[in-house]
Structure 1
């Protein structure tokens, strides 16, 4: 199955599980900092250490990370055992890529597209944590050899003024405040819902947007 089709099926599963309140990425079952296994295609919304280890070649893998609207995500790689010279790679993307479309778009994101990618196989990116600009991030990886892998440490940080938001909830109310900044901002939802804009305030120094998601 093509990776785009697999990702589409994963997002449909995410939508169903979120409505049912199931799944490790919707509900934190262990309040401590857990060590969990990461799958070839995965959705992660909890803090923790996630280890991926190949039993066979995995050539098109991705982990989608999401936090609350007022969070940004810190990602750090460790215990990396891959062969960059053989075509293995691990890349972190500041945002999500879905069906060829990037979120946030190049028009909305504060960084140029090339600066949103962090390549582990690049010597300048082999260490240290990477911080997302919004509440979603993504890890692409390709590993050819069995018994190779890595550990990904995921932490959340508070973002007092979120600009670009991906909602993981099928319902709720959200407020976006953009004080005296010339920003392009966006609010995205990954499944069909009814969206109601309840209030829009265009003040001289501040823009306030209130919206409600109805399942």
Structure 2
């Protein structure tokens, strides 16, 4: 990824945190307010206006903000207004049960002026990736594709597909008048695993489908996690299902570390660094569990050995005021 991507990501991460954490100080700076409004698109599912890139103004939507969050198809166009070498990004986000296809219709990004495009399978904020390396089927080096040069739509199209409902296009175009046209599609994902939450109300089910895999749901705000249904560790090594409900078992990181649900939080996106508030397992069709997570990032992580068909259904509600946040953090 770009050497300057970390500083750009820190800015977006601090904005997302400021938008959701009530105690954060927000000044009247126009640029900061603009980014706060853009970060709100993560939950509001809104996108930009119209633009042009070598064709009609009615067809293309312009990218005018350095940090741009969208769930629309586009096509989007960006034309560099200056020779600045700032690193910017288009953060694609869609429904939990969909992936993202990023289509380059054309691009003119001179390599000899250190221009660069990079497509990231996931989101990068504060120098960290979601999904983390431990939760993704591909190593980090295979999740980032960098390129530059010149192409036109009638010659070829470059298409990149994400593994989950979040993807990122980073770009550095330090030459006025150069740029790209990109669009997105959002095909169905039959077995979603890692999910960036786009709702503060809708429940979501993490499931391993019998695979040895870690699946994570994150929300970029302090949240209250409600567990709606739990079925983790219900099959033994010989494939025999245990239908009797056990209720919700706690501290499963010591009792059953291979099959468990971790509920906790983090200051950044790396889910391997989460502070675990509770780890649960068992079979419970009507659990009565609510956990407050007073962190910048709320995390629910399903860890599966591959011997069990595990699932957990949760909803993450935002902690919306100071009183709730102070109660949740024990202040």
What interval of TM-score do these two structures reach, taking the shorter chain for normalisation? 0.7 to 0.9
| Matched ranges for 1:57-96 at <5 A | 57-96=84-123
Matched position secondary structure for 2:135? coil
Q: Which has the higher contact order (CA 8 A, sep 6+)?
A: 1
State whether residues 108 and 178 of structure 2, in contact with CA within 8 Å, keep that contact through their aligned partners in structure 1: yes
State whether residues 42 and 93 of structure 2, in contact with CA within 8 Å, keep that contact through their aligned partners in structure 1: no
Q: Quote the residue 2:220 is aligned against.
A: 190
Higher strand share: 1
State whether residues 76 and 152 of structure 1, in contact with CA within 8 Å, keep that contact through their aligned partners in structure 2: yes
Pairwise CA distance, 1:50: 0.7
* CA distance in 2: counterparts of 1:179 and 1:43, whole angstroms: 31
Aligned partner of 2:63 among 38, 47, 65? 38
* CA distance in 1: counterparts of 2:168 and 2:45, whole angstroms: 21
Matching of residue 209 in structure 1 with residue 316 in structure 2: no
* CA distance in 1: counterparts of 2:316 and 2:202, whole angstroms: 5
Pairwise CA distance, 1:128: 2.7
TM-score normalised by L of structure 1? 0.85
Matched position secondary structure for 1:71? coil
Matched position secondary structure for 2:199? coil
Pairwise CA distance, 1:93: 0.4
Residues paired across the two proteins, number:
203
State whether residues 94 and 138 of structure 1, in contact with CA within 8 Å, keep that contact through their aligned partners in structure 2: yes
| Matched ranges for 1:56-205 at <5 A | 56=82, 57-121=84-148, 127-202=157-232, 203-204=234-235, 205=308
Matched position secondary structure for 1:175? strand
* CA distance in 2: counterparts of 1:44 and 1:173, whole angstroms: 22
Q: Deviations over 1:37-88 (max 9, x none)?
A: 1232200111221101111125211111111100000002122111112210
* CA distance in 2: counterparts of 1:18 and 1:158, whole angstroms: 19
Pairwise CA distance, 1:121: 2.9
* CA distance in 2: counterparts of 1:91 and 1:67, whole angstroms: 20
TM-score normalised by L of structure 2? 0.57
Instruction: Give the unaligned 5+ runs of structure 2.
Output: 1-6, 20-35, 49-58, 151-155, 236-307, 319-331
State whether residues 100 and 184 of structure 2, in contact with CA within 8 Å, keep that contact through their aligned partners in structure 1: yes
Moved over 4 A (4+): 14-19
Q: Comparing 110-119 with 40-49, which one deviates more in the overlay?
A: 40-49
State whether residues 135 and 166 of structure 1, in contact with CA within 8 Å, keep that contact through their aligned partners in structure 2: yes
Q: Deviations over 1:73-129 (max 9, x none)?
A: 000212211111221000000001111111000000110110001112399xx9531
Cα RMSD after superposing both structures: 2.3
State whether residues 41 and 70 of structure 2, in contact with CA within 8 Å, keep that contact through their aligned partners in structure 1: no
Pairwise CA distance, 1:10: 4.7
Matched position secondary structure for 1:7? helix
After superposition, the Cα gap between the structure-2 partners of 1:73 and 1:55, relative to the gap in structure 1 and judged at 3 Å, is same
* CA distance in 1: counterparts of 2:46 and 2:207, whole angstroms: 31
Q: Deviations over 1:110-149 (max 9, x none)?
A: 10110001112399xx953110000000011101111110
Q: Quote the residue 2:256 is aligned against.
A: none
* CA distance in 1: counterparts of 2:92 and 2:81, whole angstroms: 23
